[in-house]
Amino acid sequence: MTTDDQLVLAETHGRVGLVRFNRPKELNALNAALMEQLVTALEAFDRDPAIGCLVVTGSARAFAAGADIKEMADASAVDMLLRDNIARWDRLRMLKKPLLAAVSGFCLGGGCELALACDLIVASETARFGQPEINLGVMPGAGGTQRLTRAVGKAVAMEMVLNGRALTAAEAVRFGLVNRVAPVESYLDEALALAAEIAARAPLAVRLAKESVNNAFETDLADGLADERRAFYFLFSTADQKEGMAAFLAKRPPQWQGQ
């Protein structure tokens, strides 16, 4: 494989697995090959017990400028359906460990949808979040109308989706789309530091807590509360619950086993 074929680059930082997009000339446009490499790399980290949190990032200029327009410009509806690119996005949803997006520059279309599919977003001051598909005669197709609306509310989502309005990083944090904003020089370090903190926590509790929070978007309140309670009770069967509470009472730091 040449570096040209390496559309993502994976590296570890302690217990954090970092995947970087590597299509700088195309502003990290998400073609099928890149998405396959991304999901495969994230799944490998997800299976690795030495990793506790995943981070995906682009470059300072572009997180990702959307799905690859060249790849879909001439496609028919049947081509789109048979390509089934959405299957890779479904695999992203199945990741068990927290997934954090470190976003700078253009975060547009499928790039914005990818960030929205992550559990947390750390943005640089230069990040711009937008769903410009309307300018191409289409609309968001990988969750933009659903996750964006849940994140920022109907009024802002409508403006973004119907009129291509892009949000600045400051707006994105105010509307609840991103967790925090940092200078472009340090946003990735800040994202890695947040990921490292999460990766140092009790793995089973983190896994079930992620599932429960995401469940809030998939179910009604009664079912969500029932699922949360079952997950909470289940954690009392783990060694880490005994350790966490014993450590608190003994006034010492806990040693997690992930068991």
Q: Name the catalytic one among 65, 66, 133, 205.
A: 133
Catalytic (active site) residue 58:
no
Strands across the sheet containing 16-21: 8-13, 16-21, 53-57, 99-103, 120-124, 180-182
Cβ-based nearer residue to ligand DAK, 27 or 205: 27
> With contact defined as beta carbons under 8 Å apart, do 41 and 95 qualify?
no
Cβ-based nearer residue to ligand DAK, 28 or 238: 28
Residue with tokens 């074929």: 5
Establish if 60 lies at the interface with ligand DAK (CB under 6 A): no
Among 37, 57, 59, 85, binds ligand DAK (CB under 6 A): 85
State the binding string over 173-212 for ligand DAK (x if CB under 6 A, else -): ----------------------------------------
Catalytic (active site) residue 133:
yes
> With contact defined as beta carbons under 8 Å apart, do 229 and 208 qualify?
no
Catalytic (active site) residue 113:
yes
Nearest distance in Å: CB 206, ligand DAK: 28
Among 68, 122, 198, 256, binds ligand DAK (CB under 6 A): 68
Cβ-based nearer residue to ligand DAK, 89 or 232: 89
Q: 88 to 117, contacts with ligand DAK by CB under 6 A?
A: 89, 106, 108-110
State the binding string over 116-155 for ligand DAK (x if CB under 6 A, else -): ----------------xx--x----xx-------------
Catalytic (active site) residue 52:
no
Q: Name the catalytic one among 65, 67, 102, 202.
A: 67
Cβ-based nearer residue to ligand DAK, 112 or 204: 112
Between CA 117 and CA 127 the distance in angstroms is: 17
Closest CA to 193 of 55, 3, 33, 35: 55
Q: How many CA atoms lie within 13 A of 138 on its CB side?
A: 16
Among 75, 81, 86, 162, binds ligand DAK (CB under 6 A): 86
Euclidean distance between the first and the last CA atom of the chain, given in angstroms as a whole number? 38
Q: Name the catalytic one among 17, 66, 110, 143.
A: 110
Note the residues at the interface with ligand DAK (CB under 6 A): 26-27, 29, 65-70, 85-86, 89, 106, 108-110, 132-133, 136, 141-142
Q: Mind telling me the catalytic residues?
A: 67, 110, 113, 133
